[in-house]
Amino acid sequence: MLKINNLHVMVDDKLILKGIDLEINQGEIHAIMGPNGSGKSTLAKVLAGHPKYQITEGSIEFFDGQEYINLAELEIHERAKSGIFLGFQYPTEIPGISNLGFLRESVNNVWKAQGKKLLGKDDFIDFLHPIMDILEMKELFLDRSINEGFSGGEKKKNEILQLMILDPKLAILDETDSGLDIDALKVVAEGINRFKRPFNSTILITHYQRLLDHIIPDFIHVLGDGKIIRSGTKDLALELELKGYNWTGVGK
Amino acid sequence: MKSIDTKYKYGFATDIDSFKFNIGLSEDTILQISKIKEEPPWLLDFRLKAYQHFKTLTPPHWANLKIPPINLDEIYYYSAPKSFNEKKSLDEVDPELLRTFAKLGIPLEEQKRLSSVAIDAVFDSVSLGTTHEDELSKLGIIFCSISKAIKEYPDLVKKYLSSVVPHTDNYYAALNSAVFTDGSFAYIPKGVKCPMDLSTYFRINEGKTGQFERTLIIAEAGSLVNYLEGCTAPQRDENQLHAAVVELIAMENAEINYSTVQNWYAGTHQGVGGIYNFVTKRGKCLGVNSKISWTQVEAGSAITWKYPSCLLIGENSQGAFYSVALTNGHMQADTGTKMIHIGKNTKSTIIAKGICADQSSNTYRGLVKILPNAHHARNYSQCDSMLVGEKSKANTFPYIEVNNHSATIEHEASTSKINEDQLFYLESRGIDREKCISMIINGFCKDVFKKLPLEFAAEASRLLEIKLENSVG
């Protein structure tokens, strides 16, 4: 599904990722943990194609359903169409555009590229409702401007709503658990667990163990100073929780 | 970069024989205009008085615009299709002209007309006719060309013409008062809510022709009217002048909502050609509780110089100005409003959005003036500019003059670049960059667009999308 080889990434002339190797297969959940500044969000943004993040060395290959493609060659919107989704740590507020209009524009563009049949406005709303119910989102969400005036929890639910309707091959969820209370965390985790099926994969970026109480990862990687310094299974998270990042030798 | 003119779908010219006066401006030009329009002596006197005053004036230079010298002797002041005869009904108009308007999206033939909008079609210096005139007249509403109104309702015209914008107001208003040729006249009688939108479509066709529009709208006590105007012109290498004067009068409890989608030819992307749009628009809220709102989407013209304003005289009267001004290529706009609070408890709202792309220059200039007797006057102003590209320039000049301490004035202003985080967010959801930009711009303009009638709002939004297509890297 995804092969990252010796990835080096620079932001504003500063090298942040210094040689990441990571392979993710279909159906797997990989959690990426690590202290602040270790490069977790940089990895997420470079996968989605943020223009500020420059790949200086190495490669990212992504299986688009037929063949492995060089992700760096795709525009941001083309990555979304080929099945990559980034759940934002800080979803941006965009005034004046209704959430419904935006969701429909997004789904229409992605589905059209994937050869799926598009839905009329009423059918689209019918399609959204059961998913919004799972996420305990009220109808009002659709009429408001994108993320404008949303609480932290509402913003994250809006991200998971987009994840569930776009149903990508690879979801990269950047600190989806931050800013959530216990109830919202459960609801968001439920959404992510429903998304997880044998043919799609997830990268969970998180600072804390608590999301992993609800979503069981297949692998855990610890990032420190732009490199993966340890990999393991879910027990690694518990060890981290007990001993802190210092124990890995990369803490503050 | 592709040139913007290939995107201007109204840039065609209609090949039609025109009757023109000799080129240039003189007293003789004015005599001829008055004669061909069979005007009463008082109007000729008014024109000549305006012309005498005009000769003492020089063009204004205070705006943040670089206006090349305009040679008024190289302009035709009257141009009309040879087939034109004002006694003909719209159905008898030259089919070529009907086809022209149909191509502009304005069907004039009886069976194809829109049922919800009455249209006055102005082509160069003449109005070809007005739809729904009879239907409206049953309610006592007069909607016709100003030329026709001068003949048929001279008392009304004489009473109100230049009562809001005197011929001494400014250089272009003086010029217009001397040489205006056509425009619209609307009169809504007491207590009548106009059952359909009234609208004028201005088309400049002939090269070297100036268009001097004069529009007058009177809303009697308790009446309501929504008025819309649109305008386009062919692509030409020379600059052409459109100098209009629009006057609105609202009596007690009357309401006038005036909307414009201005899409004059803006010149090539390199700055060759385009319309100079130098316009004086002003409304007088004369009566208690009267309301006037100006909504404008300024997306065309090489140079725009325009400040639709309100004189808030009646107690509790309200003025509003909602504006989107988009400039790209080498376009220049200096536009805004004046809200003059004269009566007690008067209220005004200003929402101005400027979008500035390429090497263009976009200035908001507004005056809020509270006179000594305007107790408890209130104003809210919000002026936002968005820069698209590195070389564009946006300016905001808000002037506030308060002469009554009970006034409440709020002013907010912002200038920002198009937000990269917003773009990345939208694009990461599978929407291509151009569409993302148009979504963000539309969102930015939403507070103004929602004041437009529905079909106008959709048109305005499409217009901005087309205009920005080549402006964003």
Residue pair B122/B145 in contact (Cβ under 8 Å)? The answer is yes
- Locate tokens 């809001």: which residue? B164
CA–CA min distance A34, chain B (Å): 24
What ipTM, to 2 d.p.?
0.95
Is the pLDDT reported for residue B291 higher than 80?
yes
**Is B104 within 8 Å of B199 (Cβ atoms)?**
no
- Contact residues, chain A, for B445 at CB < 8 Å: 96
The CA-based angle B301-B351-B378, given to 5 degrees, is 135
Q: Which pLDDT score, from 0 to 100, does residue A251 have?
A: 47
* 3-state SS class at B216: strand
CB B32 within 8 A of CB B76: no
- In tens, the pLDDT along B125-180 reads 999 999 999 999 999 999 999 999 999 999 999 999 999 999 999 999 999 999 99
Distance, in angstroms, between B107 CA and closest chain A CA? 30
Interatomic CA distance for residues A94 and A97, integer angstroms? 7
Q: Tell me if A110 and B445 make a contact (CB, 8 A cut-off).
A: no
Q: What is the distance between the terminal CA atoms of chain A, rounded to a whole angstrom?
A: 34
B56 secondary structure, DSSP code: T
For residue B446, the chain A residues in CB contact (below 8 A) are 95-97
Contact state of A80 with B430 under an 8 Å Cβ cutoff: yes
- What digits encode the pLDDT tens for the residues B367-416? 999 999 999 999 999 999 999 878 889 999 999 999 999 999 999 999 88
Is the CB of B428 less than 8 angstroms away from the CB of A86? yes
Task: Return the pLDDT at B89.
Answer: 82
Q: Looking at the DSSP assignment, which residues form a beta bridge with residue B348?
A: B319, B379
Q: Taking CB atoms and an 8 Å limit, are B424 and A76 in contact across chains?
A: yes
Residue A249 pLDDT exceeds 80: no
Residue type, A235: D
Q: What is the DSSP letter of B442?
A: H
pLDDT at A240 over 90: no
Bridge partners (DSSP) of residue B245 are: B214, B280
Residue in B322, B419, B429 to test binding to A, most A beta-carbons within 10 Å = B429
Contact A77 B420 (CB under 8 A): no
Provide the shortest C-alpha distance from residue B119 to chain A (in Å).
32
Contact B430 A109 (CB under 8 A): yes
CA distance B152 to B3: 47
Residue with tokens 């808030």: B312
Domain count within chain A: 1
H/E run at residue A5: strand A2-11
| Chain segment A163-220, per-residue pLDDT in tens | 999 999 999 999 998 888 889 999 999 999 998 889 999 999 998 788 888 999 999 9
- Give the other-Cβ count within 10 Å of B219's Cβ: 31
Residues of B within 8 A of A81 (CB-CB) are 430
Task: Report how far residue A202's alpha carbon sits from residue A205's, in angstroms, rounded to the nearest whole number.
Answer: 10
Q: What is the pLDDT of residue A155?
A: 94
Q: Number of helices (H) and strands (E), helices first, in chain B?
A: 10, 22
Beta bridge partners of B283: B248, B310
Q: CB–CB of A5/A11 below 8 Å? A: no
* Residue A76 domain boundaries: 2-248
Regarding pTM above 0.80, the answer is: yes
pLDDT digits (tens, 9 = 90+) for B216-245: 999 999 999 999 999 999 999 999 999 999
Which residues face B144 on adjacent strands? B185
Question: Where are chain B's structural domains?
Answer: 4-306
What is the amino acid identity at position A10?
Answer: M
Instruction: Sort B372 into a burial class: Cβ within 10 Å, 0-12 / 13-18 / 19+.
Output: exposed
- Compute the CA torsion angle B47, B48, B51, B56 (nearest 10 deg): -140
Contact B97, B129 (CB under 8 A): no
Amino acid at A123: D
Q: In terms of DSSP H, where are the helices of chain A? A: 40-48, 76-82, 99-113, 121-134, 152-166, 182-195, 235-243
Whole-number Å distance between alpha carbons of A139 and B381? 33
- Write the DSSP string, B367-419: EEEE-TT-TT-EEEEEEEEEEESSS-EEEEEEEEEE--TT-EEEEEEEEEEPP
Q: Do residues B239 and B276 lie in contact, with contact meaning Cβ atoms separated by under 8 Å? A: yes
Upper half-sphere CA count for residue B1 (Cβ side, 13 Å) = 15
Question: For residue B3, what pLDDT is reported?
Answer: 38
For chains A and B, count residue pairs whose Cβ atoms are closer than 8 Å.
80
Residue B254, pLDDT above cutoff 50? yes
Query: Nearest-CA distance from B264 to chain A in Å?
Result: 27
Residue of B431, B446, B447 lying closest to A109 (CB–CB): B431
Facing residue for A76 by CB, picked from B427, B444, B445: B427
Q: Can you read off the two tokens belonging to residue A70? A: 């060089």
CB contact at 8 A, B148 and B127: yes
Tens digit of pLDDT for each residue in B342-360? 999 999 999 999 999 999 9
Predicted local confidence at residue B462, as pLDDT: 86
Q: How far is B374 from chain A (nearest CA, A)?
A: 35
pLDDT band at B64 (very low <50, low <70, confident <90, very high): very high
Q: Given CB atoms, is B390 within the 8 Å cutoff of chain A?
A: no
The CA distance from B233 to B240, in Å, is 9
| SS percent in chain A: helix, strand, coil, step 5 | 40, 30, 30
- C-alpha atoms less than 13 angstroms from C-alpha of B411 in its C-beta half-sphere: 12
Distance (Å, whole) CA A96 – CA A104: 15
Q: CATH no. for residue A151?
A: 3.40.50.300
d(CA B309, CA B292) in angstroms, rounded, equals 9
Nearest residue of A to residue B434, measured between CA atoms = A77
Per-residue pLDDT tens digits for A102-143: 999 999 999 999 999 999 999 999 999 999 999 999 988 999
Percent of chain A scoring above 70 in pLDDT: 97
What are the residues whose beta carbons fall under 8 Å from the beta carbon of B427, sequence distance 6 or more?
Answer: A75, A76, A77, A80, B433, B436
